[in-house]
Amino acid sequence: MKHETTRLGTVIILATLLVLGYVGITGLAKNSHSRKIVSEKTKTEAVKDKKNITKSASAPVSPNLGSVFELDGNIAQDGVLDDWATLDAGGGSAIAKTLDSNGQPINIPDPAGTTIFTGGGSKDGLDIPNWRYTGGSVPDKDEILDAFAAAYSVNGELIVVFGADRFAVNGDSQVGLWFFKQAVGLGPNGTFTGQHSVGDILILSHFTQGGGTVNIEVYEWVGSGGDTGGTLQHVASGVNNCAITTSACAITNSSPIASPWAYKAKGMPAGTIPTGGFFEGGVNLTALGISNECFSAFLAETRSSQSVDATLKDFVEGTFTLVPEVSAGPDALITCANPTAQLTASSPLEPNVTFHWTTADGNITSNPDAKTITVDRAGTYTVTITGATGCSNSDSAVVTQDTTPPVANAGPDATLTCSITSVQLNGQTDVANPVYQWSTLDGHIVGASNGASITADKAGTYTLMVTNPVNGCGASDSAVVNANVAPPSVQFSKTSADGNALSVLLTTVASSNSVPAGTLSYQYQTCVLNCNLDASWTNAGANQTTFVFSNFGLVSPAAQSFSIGSDNYSGQLFVVNTRVKVSDAGNGCSTTSSPALVKKVTAVDP
Ligand SMILES: [Ca+2]
Ligand SMILES: [Ca+2]
Ligand SMILES: [Ca+2]
């Protein structure tokens, strides 16, 4: 018991020294190397923050890693913090996590005997194109069965946690964990795809057989000029008590634990991970001045030693993206009926993301930094979201526009005449199920005005509005109804003298007022009393402009007595009305003339 206490005290002292040591080392590392980063501004602030921490004890204190995640040597959630079982069940507040080939969190399984490193180029200090893999086996204690990782954002600090389990515990096993900025995967013929980026993170630690002290070292890939083999820069050393460190730590299970995922250790019943078969740890990358690393891939490996030049053995790899997922939402359509559209972005990391919309060819009419925007023009709209750790991602939605008006054709103009007293106007369009509406200011529509065709009985301008119900767009056209109703002009007069003549010549002078001029035809009438009631018309035919009247017998003469000197006379006076009716074939109009009187005096007898 006393021995145990002394050992723990030693560990704490060592841990304190290690923490103090990494601060100095990372300070140097930050000045020595440039890094490709998402946001220079944020990066600068991170470095500045780190300097503040170094200088001032009153600066904000990073959380101990054990207060972010249950880095407690088991998988089950024992308190309020997430543990791997939390994430495995789909819960938790991680901003990134490993997914298996089915897209499910959290463990990436790696069946024994598959995908092991091979060849002399498979070293952590060499770039990924040098790595090779093959099928085969490694010593049982180096067989990884599952690996997993997750990221958390606490007060803007990026904390990555990671872990693995293995097949056998007959001895310690060195373990490495890579977080890659670019995608890394398995290529053809035993090669890997992808390559290192400056800023890739390598964490070296180990499974310990009995759950003892777990050294942990953090490196950053710098490509050249690094203090570890040139390509790597040592960033920090961690401790094996996650409750007391803000930088890096790791721990193994000191007693058998239950596994929530399919697991069977060598010589053990399924579902139980023996002591030293489980490893987990965490790193606060912000506290190390290397936040803003938008990782996209993860690899866990076993190795022959903790040297970066060690021979690599088993590995398991998968995606681990700190790039927040984003959707710009469904595409949208602008029509005449809906002249604006709304686009709504979404991200699983809401509300801890910011939105910013842009467009090169469209038009945003609302706040472009909102989750939902309103647009009024066709175009491609791109939303960029930035997560709490500064990683961005974007997606686009396309807005199309259907504002094509329908064809509106009110049809040909029409003409009303004396014989055509109403006309039909026939509208046409090119869309299905159109909505028609006719209107007129100076004409008159007989009956319905909302059909394709209308009846008009008055001269005027008739306007047809056609609306396409699909997009709400309308168009109009007009037809004019003209009037051709002017009657012919007529003058009807005697052109021979009255008197005792047996006949009287009457002449009609008429002209067409139709446009164009029509052919005139004539009818003559004689009547005695009221010509309006007399129907004795004579059809005289076209062009017969003269009428000879002689039928004085149709009327009883009035007896007249008169004296000339001393002689008394008596006689008979015949008086007959005559008229002409002129009809114009051009417009069907006709004019009846005023009566012309013809007279005859007979039987003068002194
Ligand atoms: Ca745990
Ligand atoms: Ca736990
Ligand atoms: Ca493997």
Query: Do 313 and 449 fall within a single domain?
Result: no
Looking at the fold, whether 311 and 452 belong to one and the same domain comes out as no
Ligand having the closest approach to the CA of 146: 3
Is 364 within 8 Å of 373 (Cβ atoms)? Answer: yes
- As given in the structure block, the two tokens for residue 297 are 């891939």
**pTM, rounded to two decimals:** 0.59
Other CB atoms within a 10 A radius of the CB of residue 269 amount to: 8
pLDDT at 55: 34
The ligand placed nearest to the CA atom of residue 251 is 1
177 CA from centroid of ligand 3 (Å): 13
The DSSP code for 347 is: -
pLDDT at 498: 67
Alpha-carbon gap, residue 262 to 257, rounded angstroms = 13
- Residue 445's SS3 state is strand
Domain end: 290, 319, 348, which one? 319
The whole-number pLDDT of residue 291 equals 63
486 C-alpha to ligand 2 centroid (Å): 105
Task: Quickly list DSSP for 223-284.
Answer: EEEETBTEEEEEEEE-BS-TTS-SSEEEEE-SS-EE-SS----TTS-TTEEPTTSEEEEEEE
Measured CA distances, 200 to 123, 170, 233 (Å): 15, 31, 11
> Are 167 and 269 contained in the same domain?
yes
Smallest-distance ligand from the CA of 166: 3
306 with 161, same domain: the answer is yes
User: Do 83 and 199 share a structural domain?
Assistant: yes
- Please report whether residue 408 resides in a domain: no
Beta-bridge partners for 136: none
Judge whether 70 lies within some domain.
Answer: yes
- pLDDT tens per residue across span 210-258: 667 788 999 999 999 999 999 999 999 998 889 999 899 999 998 999 9
Domain count of the chain?
4
What is the distance in A from the centroid of ligand 2 to the CA of 75?
5
Is the separation of the CB atoms in 573 and 599 below 8 Å?
yes
- The residue segments making up the domain with residue 454 are 414-484
Angle, CA of 366, 369 and 371, to the nearest 5°: 85
- Residue 134 CA, ligand 3 centroid: distance in Å: 9
- Predicted confidence (pLDDT) per residue in 384-403, tens digit: 999 877 788 999 999 999 99
Both 217 and 301 in one domain: the answer is: yes
Residue 504 main-chain phi, psi, to 5 deg? -125, 135
Mean pLDDT for 266-271 is 92
**How far is it, in rounded angstroms, from Cα 225 to Cα 232?**
8
Give the domain-ending residue among 288, 319, 350: 319
- In the chain, how long is the greatest CA-to-CA distance? 186
In a domain, 501, yes or no: yes
User: Quick one: pLDDT at residue 34?
Assistant: 32
Residue 7 has pLDDT above 70, yes or no: no
Query: What confidence score (pLDDT) does residue 230 get?
Result: 95
Q: Are residues 468 and 561 in the same domain?
A: no
Q: Is residue 507 part of a domain?
A: yes
Tell me, in angstroms, the distance from the centre of ligand 3 to residue 189's CA.
16
Same domain (yes/no): 443, 533: no
Distance 145 CA to ligand 1 centre (A): 17
Q: Any idea which residue has 């009883």 for tokens?
A: 556
CATH number at residue 595: 2.60.40.10
Q: Give domain status of residue 260, yes or no.
A: yes
User: Are 390 and 425 part of one and the same domain?
Assistant: no
Considering the domain architecture, whether residues 178 and 210 belong to the same structural domain is answered as: yes
The answer to whether position 205 is within a domain reads: yes
3-class secondary-structure state, position 151: strand
Residue 512 CA: distances (Å) to CA of 77, 156, 194: 107, 97, 96
Residue 553 within any structural domain of the chain: yes
The predicted pLDDT at position 516 comes to: 95
Distance from Cα 353 to the centre of ligand 1, integer Å: 27
> Is residue 510 within 8 Å of residue 488, measured between CB atoms?
yes
Do 387 and 436 share a domain, yes or no?
Answer: no
| Residue 327, domain member (yes or no) | no
484, 513, 537: which is the final residue of a domain? 484
Same domain as 352, residue 267: no
d(CA 282, CA 286): 12
Which pLDDT belongs to residue 567? 84
Residue-level pLDDT at 200: 95
